[in-house]
C-alpha cells in the first residue's frame, strides 16, 4: 500500500509500504493511484514527492504476482497519470529503483537519488522487457546506445552513473526525502512540459539501420538462445523509430510473447531459487534460521596454487585479514605477485583501493594460530591433506573452523583426522575462485550446523551463490557431470564427432560443449582421477570386453588421447587442435577424426548417424537422472539447490532454469520414457537406469517442481 502525508505545508508525500522491497503489488498500485489522486485534488498541495519506506524506493513489479491472475490497477495508466499531472512529482530514490520502480520514477517529473542508490531495468534477467514504458522512456531520456546497454544487460547503475547518464537530476549524501521535498518546493509552479519524457523525441541515432543490425548481431551472440534480450532490442528500436503511442503498442506486443514464455518462467524460477538456497537445511533437521554463524574476522588460506590464490583474493576483497601460507619460497613469491595483481585489477574495476595490506604471507603454518577460519587448498592428495589437517588441529586456537577446498576427496575422512570433526566443512570453490559465482558448502555427518552457517555466511559475504550439500563423491556438481561426460564419450564411439556433440550442447545454450570445455580444463585432470580409480589400462586390447571396466561400459578415449600427450589447450592438442600451446581458438583436427575411425575399427564398432536430439537426450537426461539420485540420497535438499549449482557453476543456460527445472518443463514422464529407451539399448550403462525417485514421482502424477519437496518427503515416508 501507499501512505499519504502533507509535509512542509504544501508537499504531498507518498510513501510506498510493502516490505522488504516495496514491490508494486496490486495493493501498492492501488495505493499510488489513490494517493496521487488525493495530492492532485488538494488545492493546498503544490508539489508531490514519492518515496519508499525503509530506505528502498522500489524493487519493481511484484514478481510473485506474475504467475497468478493479476488484479488491481495496471502500471502503465498509473505512470501516465503521474506524468500528465499538473503539479511537479519528484521521486526520492534511496536503496534501489529497479524495473517497474524505475519506470515509476521515469513517470515522475524529477528524480533525486541518494549517492548509495542503485537504478536499473533488470527485467531482461527475468525473461521480460521493461514494459511499463521503460523501453520507450529511457531511450528518450538518455539516448539509444546507453538505454540499450542498460535494458539488454539489466545491469544496475550507481547514482553517480545515473547522474552522468541523465537518469537522475540530483544526487545527495544526506536525507533523500528531505532533499526531494526541498527540491519539490523549489520547482512548484514551473512549467512541466519539458519534464514529460514521453513527449520528447528520441535523440537521433545516425545510420539507424546499420546501428541496430550490429547491436542485434552482438546481442544474439551473447544471448545464447535467450529471447528477452532480442525483444529488448526490438522494443528500443521502436522507441527510436515510432511515435510514443505506437512504440508503447510495440512494447506491449513484445511483452505479451515474453510474459507467458517458458524462458520467463525459468528465469523467474532462478531468481527465487537463488534466494531459497540461502534457507538451507540439513537432514539432521538443522536449518539456516536456527543456526548462528560464528564471527569471522581473520582467515587463512593454506596452499597458494591457482585455487589458493583465487580464494585469498575473494577473502581479502570482503575486507577480512588473510594469512596466506605457502611452504615453498619460490611459489610464495610468485603467489604474492599474482595475488597483488589480481587485487589491484579488481579494485580498479570497482573503483576502490586494493586490499593489499589485508594479506599477510608466510611460509610457516604456525602463522595461522589465531585465525577464526582456515581454508586448505593444497594439492588434491588425501595423504597431504590429512597431514595439513593434523597440523592445523595442533596449531589453531580452539574453535577455529577448518575448511577444505577439495573437489573430490571425502570431507568426512578429513574431519576424522581432527579432534573436532564438528568444525570441519568443505568449501568447494570453482576456478578462478575470485570470479566464479558458485560455492558448494559440503557438510559431513559430523559437521556442526554452526560450522555450516559460518561457511554459508562467508560465502554470501564473498558474493557467492553458496549451496549447502551433503558429502559424497563429486558432491553435487561433479557427481552429475560424470554421466554427462561419459555419455559424450560413448557418443563418439558410436559415430559422433566432438564438433557435433559440442554444437548440440552450445545450441542448447551452454557456453562451451563438453569437449571444448575438456580441452580448456585439461584432459589430464580426469585421467589422473581415473588412474586413481584403477580404470586406466593400456590401450592395446580390442573388442567389447576392452570397453568394460569394473562391470560397466567404459570408454578409454580420453585416456588414449592423454597417452598421446594431448592434454587440451595447454599442449595445443586435445579433442581439437590449436595454433600453439595455450591458444584458445579450437579448430577441427583431421588427426582426431582418423583416430576415431581407427579406434572404432579396432573395437568392431560401426559408426551410425547421430543427431542433436540424441546428443541432448543422452547427455542431459543422464545428468538429470543423477540429480534425482542426489535428491533421493538427501545430498541436495531440493531441486533448487541443484539448479543453482548448475546455472552458477556449470554454464547451464539460465533461461532453461537448471537441469531439474528443465526436466520439469520437458515432463518427467518423457524424461523417464527416454531413459528407459536408452537403457534398453545400452544395458551395460548403469547411469541410464532411471532413478527410483523419478519413477516414483511419475507414478504419483508428476507433481510440479515446487511440490517435489513434499512429494519426496511423502514418498520417503511410504518406504
Ligand X SMILES: CCC/C=C/C(=O)SCCNC(=O)CCNC(=O)[C@H](O)C(C)(C)COP(=O)([O-])OP(=O)([O-])OC[C@H]1O[C@@H](n2cnc3c(N)ncnc32)[C@H](O)[C@@H]1OP(=O)([O-])[O-]
Provide the annotated active-site residues: 103, 123
> In this structure, are residues 447 and 415 in contact, taking their beta carbons and an 8 Å threshold?
yes
Rg value, the chain, Cα:
28
CB of 117 to ligand X, least distance (A): 11
Q: Is 35 in the site for ligand X (CB under 6 A)?
A: no
Residue with cell 512429494: 711
Closer Cβ to ligand X, 197 or 395, answer by number = 197
CB of 258 to ligand X, least distance (A): 10
Q: Which of 24, 245, 257 is nearest to 136 (CA)?
A: 245
Helix (H) or strand (E) holding 332: helix 329-350
Closer Cβ to ligand X, 64 or 292, answer by number = 64
Closer Cβ to ligand X, 62 or 412, answer by number = 62
Site string for ligand X, 79-108 (x = CB under 6 A): -----------------x-xxx--------
- Distance separating alpha carbons of residues 514 and 520, to the nearest angstrom: 10
CB of 455 to ligand X, least distance (A): 19
CB of 64 to ligand X, least distance (A): 5
Helix (H) or strand (E) holding 171: strand 170-172
CB of 399 to ligand X, least distance (A): 30
- Distance separating alpha carbons of residues 705 and 263, to the nearest angstrom: 15
C-alpha cell belonging to residue 62: 511484484
Closer Cβ to ligand X, 103 or 559, answer by number = 103
C-alpha cell belonging to residue 36: 496521487
Q: Is 136 in the site for ligand X (CB under 6 A)?
A: no
Residue 221 to residues 149, 150, 208, 209, 513: CA-CA distances in angstroms?
15, 17, 20, 18, 16
CB of 123 to ligand X, least distance (A): 5
Residue 7's Cα: distance from chain center in Å? 43
CB of 223 to ligand X, least distance (A): 18
Give the torsion through C-alpha atoms of 17, 18, 19, 22, to 10 deg. Answer: -90
Cβ burial, residue 61 (10 Å; 0-12/13-18/19+): buried
C-alpha cell belonging to residue 523: 584432459
Residue-wise burial string across 460-483, b where 16 or more C-beta atoms lie within 10 A, e elsewhere: ebbebbbbbbbbbebbbbbbbbbb
Among the candidate windows 57-65, 240-248, 306-314, 504-512, which touches ligand X by CB under 6 A?
57-65
> In this structure, are residues 32 and 25 in contact, taking their beta carbons and an 8 Å threshold?
no
Stretch 465-494 residues interacting with ligand X (CB under 6 A): none
Closer Cβ to ligand X, 119 or 424, answer by number = 119
CB of 134 to ligand X, least distance (A): 7
CB of 65 to ligand X, least distance (A): 8
Closer Cβ to ligand X, 75 or 388, answer by number = 75
Site string for ligand X, 257-276 (x = CB under 6 A): ---------------x--x-
Closer Cβ to ligand X, 132 or 504, answer by number = 132
- Distance separating alpha carbons of residues 185 and 48, to the nearest angstrom: 9
Q: Is 301 in the site for ligand X (CB under 6 A)?
A: no
Stretch 229-258 residues interacting with ligand X (CB under 6 A): none
- Distance separating alpha carbons of residues 129 and 180, to the nearest angstrom: 29
- Distance separating alpha carbons of residues 517 and 134, to the nearest angstrom: 38
Q: What are phi and psi of 498, to 5 degrees?
A: -55, -35
User: Pick from 62, 559, 626, 643: which binds ligand X (CB under 6 A)?
Assistant: 62
User: Pick from 9, 20, 585, 587: which binds ligand X (CB under 6 A)?
Assistant: 20
User: Pick from 59, 638, 653, 658: which binds ligand X (CB under 6 A)?
Assistant: 59
Among the candidate windows 61-69, 386-394, 501-509, 580-588, which touches ligand X by CB under 6 A?
61-69
Q: E-assigned strands of 316-362?
A: 321-325, 359-362
Q: Is 127 in the site for ligand X (CB under 6 A)?
A: no
Q: Is 292 in the site for ligand X (CB under 6 A)?
A: no
Bin 654: left if φ > 0, else alpha if -120 < ψ < 50, else beta.
alpha
Q: Is 78 in the site for ligand X (CB under 6 A)?
A: no
Among the candidate windows 7-15, 120-128, 382-390, 689-697, which touches ligand X by CB under 6 A?
120-128
Closer Cβ to ligand X, 75 or 168, answer by number = 75
Stretch 568-587 residues interacting with ligand X (CB under 6 A): none
CB of 128 to ligand X, least distance (A): 6
Q: Is 75 in the site for ligand X (CB under 6 A)?
A: yes
Q: What are phi and psi of 154, to 5 degrees?
A: 75, 10
User: Pick from 12, 31, 122, 653: which binds ligand X (CB under 6 A)?
Assistant: 122
Among the candidate windows 127-135, 141-149, 311-319, 703-711, which touches ligand X by CB under 6 A?
127-135
CB of 61 to ligand X, least distance (A): 3
Residue ranges of the alpha helices (H) in 427-564? 449-461, 477-494, 498-508, 514-521, 523-532, 557-563
Q: Is 644 in the site for ligand X (CB under 6 A)?
A: no
User: Pick from 33, 126, 311, 335: which binds ligand X (CB under 6 A)?
Assistant: 126
Residue with cell 498541495: 45
- Distance separating alpha carbons of residues 318 and 313, to the nearest angstrom: 9
- Residue 708's SS3 state is helix
Residue with cell 585439461: 522
Closer Cβ to ligand X, 20 or 295, answer by number = 20
Residue with cell 527445472: 661
User: Pick from 11, 14, 16, 21: which binds ligand X (CB under 6 A)?
Assistant: 21
Q: Is 27 in the site for ligand X (CB under 6 A)?
A: no
- Distance separating alpha carbons of residues 114 and 174, to the nearest angstrom: 7
- Residue 375's SS3 state is strand
Closer Cβ to ligand X, 57 or 490, answer by number = 57
Q: Give the binding-site size for ligand X (rule: CB under 6 A).
A: 22
User: Pick from 13, 23, 48, 79: which binds ligand X (CB under 6 A)?
Assistant: 23
Closer Cβ to ligand X, 460 or 570, answer by number = 460
Stretch 178-237 residues interacting with ligand X (CB under 6 A): none
Asked whether the bond before 20 is cis by omega within 30 degrees of 0, the reply is: yes
Q: Is 60 in the site for ligand X (CB under 6 A)?
A: yes
Q: Count Cβ atoms below 10 Å from residue 50 Cβ, excluding itself.
A: 29
Contact residues for ligand X, defined by CB under 6 A: 20-21, 23, 59-64, 75, 96, 98-100, 122-123, 126, 128, 131-132, 272, 275
Amino acid at each position: 500500500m501507499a501512505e499519504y502525508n502533507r509535509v512542509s505545508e504544501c508537499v504531498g508525500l507518498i510513501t510506498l509500504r510493502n516490505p522488504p522491497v516495496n514491490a508494486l503489488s496490486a495493493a501498492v498500485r492501488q495505493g499510488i493511484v489513490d494517493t496521487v489522486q488525493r495530492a492532485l485534488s488538494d488545492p493546498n498541495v503544490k508539489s508531490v514527492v514519492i518515496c519508499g519506506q525503509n530506505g528502498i524506493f522500489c524493487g519493481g513489479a511484484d514478481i510473485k504476482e506474475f504467475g497468478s491472475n493479476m488484479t488491481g490497477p495496471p502500471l502503465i495508466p498509473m505512470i501516465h497519470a503521474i506524468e500528465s499531472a499538473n503539479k511537479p512529482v519528484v521521486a526520492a530514490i534511496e536503496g534501489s529503483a529497479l524495473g517497474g520502480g524505475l519506470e515509476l520514477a521515469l513517470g515522475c517529473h524529477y528524480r533525486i537519488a541518494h549517492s548509495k542508490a542503485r537504478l536499473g531495468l533488470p527485467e531482461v534477467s527475468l525473461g521480460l522487457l521493461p514494459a511499463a514504458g521503460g523501453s520507450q522512456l529511457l531511450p528518450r531520456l538518455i539516448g539509444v546506445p546507453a538505454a540499450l546497454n542498460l535494458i539488454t544487460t539489466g545491469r544496475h547503475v550507481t547514482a553517480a552513473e545515473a547522474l552522468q547518464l541523465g537518469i537522475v537530476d540530483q544526487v545527495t549524501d544526506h536525507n533523500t526525502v528531505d532533499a526531494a521535498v526541498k527540491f519539490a518546493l523549489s520547482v512548484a509552479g514551473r512549467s512541466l512540459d519539458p519534464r514529460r519524457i514521453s513527449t520528447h523525441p528520441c535523440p537521433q541515432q545516425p545510420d539507424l539501420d546499420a546501428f541496430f543490425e550490429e547491436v542485434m548481431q552482438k546481442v544474439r551472440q551473447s544471448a545464447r538462445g535467450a529471447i528477452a534480450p532480442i525483444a529488448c532490442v526490438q522494443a528500443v528500436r521502436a522507441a527510436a523509430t515510432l511515435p510514443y503511442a505506437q512504440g508503447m503498442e510495440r512494447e506491449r506486443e513484445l511483452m505479451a510473447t515474453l510474459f507467458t514464455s517458458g524462458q520467463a518462467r525459468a528465469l523467474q524460477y532462478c531468481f527465487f531459487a537463488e534466494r531459497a538456497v540461502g534457507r538451507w537445511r540439513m537432514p539432521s533437521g538443522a536449518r539456516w534460521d536456527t543456526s548462528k554463524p560464528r564471527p569471522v574476522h581473520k582467515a587463512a588460506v593454506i596452499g597458494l596454487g591457482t585455487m589458493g590464490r583465487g580464494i585469498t583474493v575473494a577473502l581479502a576483497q570482503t575486507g577480512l585479514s588473510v594469512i596466506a601460507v605457502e611452504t615453498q619460497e619460490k611459489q610464495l613469491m610468485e603467489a604474492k605477485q599474482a595475488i597483488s595483481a589480481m587485487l589491484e585489477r579488481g579494485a580498479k574495476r570497482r573503483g576502490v583501493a586494493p586490499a593489499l595490506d589485508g594479506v599477510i604471507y608466510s611460509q610457516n603454518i604456525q602463522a595461522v594460530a589465531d585465525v577464526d577460519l582456515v581454508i586448505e587448498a593444497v594439492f588434491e592428495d588425501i595423504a597431504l591433506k590429512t597431514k595439513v589437517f593434523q597440523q592445523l588441529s595442533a596449531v589453531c586456537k580452539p574453535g577455529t573452523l577448518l575448511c577444505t577446498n577439495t573437489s573430490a576427496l571425502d570431507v568426512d575422512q578429513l574431519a576424522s583426522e581432527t579432534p573436532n570433526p564438528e568444525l570441519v566443512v568443505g568449501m568447494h570453490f570453482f576456478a578462478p575462485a575470485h570470479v566464479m559465482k558458485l560455492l558448494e558448502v559440503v557438510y559431513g555427518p559430523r559437521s556442526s550446523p554452526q560450522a555450516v552457517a559460518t561457511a554459508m555466511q562467508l560465502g554470501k559475504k564473498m558474493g557467492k551463490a553458496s549451496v549447502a550439500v551433503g558429502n559424497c563423491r563429486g558432491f553435487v556438481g561433479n557427481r552429475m557431470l560424470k554421466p554427462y561426460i561419459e555419455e559424450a564419450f560413448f557418443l563418439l564411439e558410436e559415430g559422433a564427432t566432438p564438433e557435433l556433440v559440442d554444437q548440440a550442447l552450445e545450441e542448447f545454450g551452454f557456453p562451451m560443449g563438453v569437449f571444448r570445455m575438456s580441452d580448456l580444463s585439461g584432459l589430464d585432470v580426469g585421467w589422473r582421477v581415473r588412474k586413481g580409480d584403477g580404470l586406466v589400462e593400456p590401450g592395446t586390447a580390442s573388442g567389447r570386453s576392452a570397453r568394460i571396466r569394473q562391470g560397466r561400459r567404459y570408454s578409454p578415449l580420453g585416456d588414449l588421447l592423454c597417452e598421446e600427450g594431448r592434454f587440451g589447450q595447454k599442449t595445443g592438442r586435445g579433442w581439437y587442435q590449436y595454433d600453439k600451446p595455450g591458444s584458445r581458438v579450437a579448430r577441427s583436427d583431421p588427426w582426431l577424426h582418423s583416430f576415431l575411425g581407427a579406434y572404432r575399427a579396432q573395437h568392431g564398432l560401426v559408426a551410425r548417424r547421430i543427431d542433436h536430439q540424441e546428443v541432448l537426450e543422452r547427455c542431459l537426461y543422464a545428468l538429470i537422472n543423477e540429480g534425482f539420485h542426489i535428491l533421493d540420497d538427501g545430498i541436495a535438499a531440493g531441486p533448487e539447490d541443484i539448479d543453482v549449482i548448475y546455472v552458477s557453476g556449470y554454464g547451464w543456460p539460465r533461461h532453461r532454469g537448471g537441469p531439474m527445472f528443465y526436466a520439469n518443463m520437458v515432463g518427467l514422464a518423457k524424461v523417464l520414457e527416454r531413459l528407459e529407451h536408452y537403457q534398453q539399448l545400452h544395458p551395460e550403462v548403469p547411469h541410464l537406469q532411471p532413478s527410483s525417485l523419478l519413477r516414483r514421482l511419475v507414478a504419483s502424477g508428476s507433481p510440479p517442481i515446487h511440490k517435489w519437496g513434499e512429494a519426496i518427503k511423502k514418498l520417503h515416508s511410504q518406504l
